[in-house]
Amino acid sequence: MLGYILRRLLATIPVIGMVALFVFSLLYLTPGDPAAVIAGDIATVEDIERIRQKLGLDQPFLTRFWVWASAVLQGDLGISIFTNLPVTQLIGQRVGPTLSLALCTLIVAVAVAVPLGVVGAWKAGKLVDRLVMLFSVAGFSMPVFVLAYVLIYLFAIDLDWLPVQGYAPLRDGFWPWLSHLILPSIALGTIYIALIARITRAAMLEVLAQDYVRTAHAKGLAPSAVLLGHALKNAAVPIVTVIGIGIALLISGVVVTESVFAIPGIGRLTVDAILRRDYPIIQGVILLFSSIYVLVNLAVDLSYRFFDPRIQY
């Protein structure tokens, strides 16, 4: 088991290295002169040259990449062009709302989607199953921002049950914190719930057709014991896989959701940085999100051995 974990850990090193190379190359892949774009139309030659030196564009590519990668390994993601603050400090100031939104969305999505998929497979072909499939198709097809505005109109403006926008830290109280996350979590989690529910149903249908499940039923085991103790455990690998893949949906959806609900998280920071062409922040955020996604997939790979000890790769 230890050797398996070490092999998977070592396999992530070249992946993160390629991600870092791509993130750093974004500055050089931008059409035109990035320094001139950042400086604006009324900038002088001296202003453009100063920005080029600040970004390291006056140095060879490999030399600049080595300096940048060495700094990243020490936790230094650079300095923001417009605020002159460390990128790590700016991300640290915004990570709380984003982490809260992502965790709430993940908890809600898994808690709702897995039971829906299990029930849909158990009642395959019946009304409950058709409703689950209808929700899965509709939820996966609806854009996040459309659902967000519908939820805001219904529950925040019309019914006045929840705040329209904003974020309250947990230190201000549990309910203020939770009330500002309910609508964003539902809007962001609906597409995630639809995806997980559909894959859970498909995996459960395949397992429920196996001989050992029929044998368990023949022995007189309760349906709940068969579903949870036999079928769900053996269907866990594809379910865990899609949960890990769905993290990418969360990462992309966070940017849109935080913009709609005016949540001061990393998503809003990313949007502001893109609009201002603040490349150090863009590079730092993309590198952070990419590293999180790689680590989540590593955790998913490691969990396979728990659900199926026969997996050896």
- Ordered by start, the domain boundaries in the chain are 2-73, 96-307
Q: Is the C-alpha dihedral spanning 238, 239, 242, 244 positive or negative?
A: negative
pLDDT of residue 80: 82
The predicted pLDDT at position 312 comes to: 59
- What does the block give as tokens for 16? 């993160």
pLDDT (0 to 100) of residue 230 = 67
| pLDDT block averages, 10 residues each, the chain of length 313 | 71 80 74 63 70 71 80 82 83 86 87 85 80 81 82 85 84 86 87 85 79 70 69 76 77 80 84 80 84 80 69 59
C-alpha–C-alpha distance, residues 280 and 37, integer Å? 15
Rounded Cα gap, residues 195 and 168, in angstroms? 29
pTM listed for this prediction: 0.77
3-state secondary structure at position 254: helix
Closest to 152 in 3D by CA, of 128, 184, 130: 184
The Cα–Cα gap between 190 and 204 comes to: 21
The DSSP call for residue 226 is I
Domain 96-307: top CATH class: mainly alpha
Tokens of 85: 């603050």
Distance of CA 122 to the CA centre of its chain: 30
DSSP-derived 3-state class of residue 38: helix
Token pair of 63, please?
Answer: 């030399």
Q: Residue with structure tokens 């890990």?
A: 244
CA 177 to chain centre: 20
For residue 270, give the nearest of 246, 286, 249, 248 by alpha carbon: 286
Distinct helix (H) and strand (E) counts, the chain:
15, 0
Q: What's the CA gap between 267 and 223, in Å, rounded? A: 44
